[in-house]
Amino acid sequence: MESLVAEGSANLMIGHILLFNSEFRQIRSEASARVPFHIDCVRHPGPGSMSRILR
């Protein structure tokens, strides 16, 4: 895998897709069944939030 990742890791996502190929196929299948315009947003907590949650 190391040979596939360029300096700066701009193409690192390719490795992620290769590792989780079955999940990628499922997402691609679900996306093709939707209308051409689909937005799904998730707000992740900030870096310090998890430490406050886990206390």
**Domains of the chain, residue spans:** 1-36
Q: Whole-model pTM? A: 0.33
Please write the tens of the pLDDT for every residue from 6-40. Answer: 666 555 565 566 667 787 788 788 888 887 776 77
- 42 pLDDT band, cuts 50/70/90, is confident
Residues in the chain: 55
pLDDT (0 to 100) of residue 9: 59
Round to whole Å and give the CA distance between 3 and 1: 5
> Do 46 and 52 contact (CB within 8 A), yes or no?
no
Structural contact between residues 38 and 31, judged by C-beta atoms closer than 8 angstroms: yes
